[in-house]
Structure 1
Amino acid sequence: MDIGVLLPTGAAQWGPDDDPRDLVALGRRAERAGFSSLFVNDTLIGPRVEALTMLAALAPATDAVTLGTAALLPHLRRPVQTAQALASLDLLSGGRLAVAVGAGFPGRFGQPLYALSEVPWERRFARLDETVALWRTLWGGGGSFHGEFLRFADVPPMTRPFRPGGPPVWLGGATPAALARTGRTYDGWLPYPPDPADYATGLRAVRAAAAGAGRAAGDVTPALFVSVRIDDGPDADPGDGRRAMDAYARATYGMPLEDLEKVQAVVTGSADRVRERLEEYVAAGARHVVARLGALDLRSQRDQLERLADLLPAVRAAGVP
């Protein structure tokens, strides 16, 4: 049972006096506190530290945590150069990289990014799958690739990843098509369903697709992306956590919390309430939880990190058969 955190690489999660260079120290602090992974997200919307740059800074500063993307958007980058960069990160981290990918979705965080990257929005899912297939070919030593969208002949040898075949690649998304594609070809599943029951249903579909492709259930890591805010103590107002998470939702997505909760997993409240809700997802099958901390400055991020760290033993125990 792995539990990690999403580092706040976007300026919307920094206070006016925060230094983004302190993100590396926050990552080290999370590792010392017992978290098993550090993830970063990826977009061109708003000022932020670029995802792969952040992971490159964390690689020599940490020892054992998984370093991951949640989720990397391959359409923002040239595919061969991205394969080289990811192989280099896997090598420099000693095989600690996990690459969750996504194709984006309609609206502010989707179509404009394709336009900025000069990549067609149409058939984005097929293009995503083909990009991942290209990466795996290059990581395995293949020098050519001939697909529908991407065609390369005689690619010079590139950096070999630490692990043969390269880092595991996970897929975000929970549509029926995404579940089937995850089971057939990806190494992990990183959705964010608001209801644990939907997680369980989706995971069954992923495993059925995996079995249909001749794969074992253990070939696909069942992960979960969830936003967390803990507000506890004798003087805590039950509404404080929701107000803080509402401010986070508006700053990050430009939408109120009540709208965000309809599309993403969000857990707020006392430590007991957060623990119980996370355990519901564990009972539904999640085995790698990536928690985004609902705070808008690095001091508050550190506070939330410590609060969540106190729950690690109980949530991990819930994942032991």
Structure 2
Amino acid sequence: MSEPARLELSAMGAVRPPASAALEAAARRERQGFDAVWWADHLLHWFPTSIWAPDLVPQAAAGQASPHVWFDPFAVVAAAAGATERVRLGIGVTDVVRRHPVALAQTALTLDHLTGGRFLLGVGAGEALNLAPIGVANRRPLGRLEEALEVMRLLWASPDPVDFRGDHFTLDGAALGLRPVGDRPPPVWLAAHRPRGLALAGRHADGWLPLATDPDEYAGMLAAVRAAAAAAGRPGDAVTAGLYARIVVAESRTQAVAAIDRSLLLRFIALTRPAEAFARHGAEHPLGEGAFGLTSFLPTRLGREEALRLAGAVPVEVLRDTVIHGTPDDVAGAIAAFVDRGARHVQLTNMTPLADPSMAATSEALLADAVVAVRAATSA
């Protein structure tokens, strides 16, 4: 019997100036033993500009003028390729609404070359806060995403001109002569959580990177991905089972819980969760019945009073459940539960500085301890 694949651990890349610090952060993650670094593709953050004030947000009091400070992640990946040697570098995730799939296919191959085959392309159906404020409609997002994947695969399969007729995209003799640096194009990872998206991941993705905090819920989603892959005639290991794990790590579980409970910003992160996450705790989503904040939350439209009302409506149980939290050993135990249910790639996204900036330096050291603890807890 073959041994199970080694668990891959990845981290979130730095997305704000100075550029030198962002590149050093990538190099530090490589030294810490991470297998990959992912960069988010955002225009706006989840935090309303109306609450970004010194009396409410420590980061604003410290001089950060806006919550909406993001590098273009594709450019950062290109620069990070020269600052690292081994670690894989990914976009986690972009959309095919702002970025046309033909342009995205070319960019992915370019980064494949610049990174020496280390690039990972993460895509999703699109988030409202990146699209609606710039007047971009996102109709039938999963249909668009599936066509985009087909377009990219078609262009990567051959340097010859190709045609494509879909509801969202049309190719008429389009060609992408650039070939992968190795024997296959960059892996495509999908962020998906609901039935149609999970089926799409099973049919088309090389990796699956969902947000989850409940291991049993995760196992159910993974089963749906695997069932769709099998129905499409793909092998059982065709889709690497990933996990996007937000963590708050501290020297004690009590300290971690206290940081979460007093964090206004984490309350807005909690608003991005689906209605099911609130229903588990007997609550309705503050954005309305059936809401999924990732696809409906528009923070820049909220005045201060309404924003604070929504944040205050997040039950503390949902708030704490939004992040895996505690000591490095607590984090390791929680991650091990997901590994037991099939996870093979876990992104440990350190949300501690967001919850409490005064804990940033300590959490960085504790994150390194968490990596060691996770490796130990999942190596058996």
Length-normalised TM-score, structure 2: 0.73
Number of the residue aligned with 1:274: 331
Indicate how the Cα distance of structure 1 residues 260 and 135 shifts in structure 2: closer, same or farther if over 3 A, else same.
farther
How far the C-alpha of 1:5 sits from its partner, in A, is 0.5
Number of the residue aligned with 1:129: 146
Measure, in 2, the Cα distance between the counterparts of 1:85 and 1:242: 38
- Superposed CA offset, 1:227-280 (max 9, x none): 11111069x735443247554554897657758947985111222221211111
Number of the residue aligned with 2:220: 201
Number of the residue aligned with 1:14: none
Measure, in 1, the Cα distance between the counterparts of 2:32 and 2:319: 31
Measure, in 1, the Cα distance between the counterparts of 2:81 and 2:379: 29
Measure, in 1, the Cα distance between the counterparts of 2:118 and 2:246: 23
Measure, in 2, the Cα distance between the counterparts of 1:129 and 1:251: 27
Measure, in 2, the Cα distance between the counterparts of 1:76 and 1:259: 35
Indicate how the Cα distance of structure 1 residues 183 and 54 shifts in structure 2: closer, same or farther if over 3 A, else same.
same
Measure, in 2, the Cα distance between the counterparts of 1:7 and 1:260: 28
Indicate how the Cα distance of structure 1 residues 272 and 320 shifts in structure 2: closer, same or farther if over 3 A, else same.
closer
Matches within 5 A, 1:281-292: 281-292=338-349
Bigger mean CA deviation after superposition, 220-229 or 139-148? 139-148
Match of 2:94 among 59, 69, 72: 72
Which has more radius of gyration?
2
How far the C-alpha of 1:36 sits from its partner, in A, is 0.9
Quick check: 2:249–2:256 contact (8 Å CA) kept in 1?
A: no
Measure, in 2, the Cα distance between the counterparts of 1:201 and 1:320: 23
Number of the residue aligned with 1:4: 10
How far the C-alpha of 1:42 sits from its partner, in A, is 0.9
Quick check: 1:91–1:160 contact (8 Å CA) kept in 2?
A: no
Give the AA of the match of 1:272. D
- Superposed CA offset, 1:158-198 (max 9, x none): 32222334111111111011111111121111111221111
Classify the secondary structure of the residue corresponding to 1:122: coil
* Identity within the alignment, %: 30
Measure, in 1, the Cα distance between the counterparts of 2:217 and 2:335: 14
Matches within 5 A, 1:9-48: 9-10=15-16, 19-45=18-44, 46-48=68-70
Bigger mean CA deviation after superposition, 124-133 or 288-297? 288-297
Match of 1:109 among 118, 125, 129: 129
Length-normalised TM-score, structure 1: 0.85
Classify the secondary structure of the residue corresponding to 2:42: coil
Measure, in 2, the Cα distance between the counterparts of 1:230 and 1:281: 18
Give the AA of the match of 1:109. L
Measure, in 2, the Cα distance between the counterparts of 1:287 and 1:174: 17
Quick check: 2:187–2:207 contact (8 Å CA) kept in 1?
A: yes
Classify the secondary structure of the residue corresponding to 1:310: helix
Structure 2 gap ranges (5+): 1-6, 45-67, 273-298, 300-310
Match of 1:307 among 366, 371, 374: 366
Quick check: 2:10–2:347 contact (8 Å CA) kept in 1?
A: yes
Number of the residue aligned with 1:13: none
Give the AA of the match of 1:284. R
Number of the residue aligned with 2:187: 168
Indicate how the Cα distance of structure 1 residues 273 and 187 shifts in structure 2: closer, same or farther if over 3 A, else same.
same
Number of the residue aligned with 1:241: 259
Classify the secondary structure of the residue corresponding to 2:121: strand
Measure, in 1, the Cα distance between the counterparts of 2:11 and 2:25: 10
Measure, in 1, the Cα distance between the counterparts of 2:269 and 2:190: 26
- Superposed CA offset, 1:102-152 (max 9, x none): 1124xx526516x54x4x321111111111211122122242231312222
Structure 1 gap ranges (5+): 11-17
Alignment: residue pair count: 308
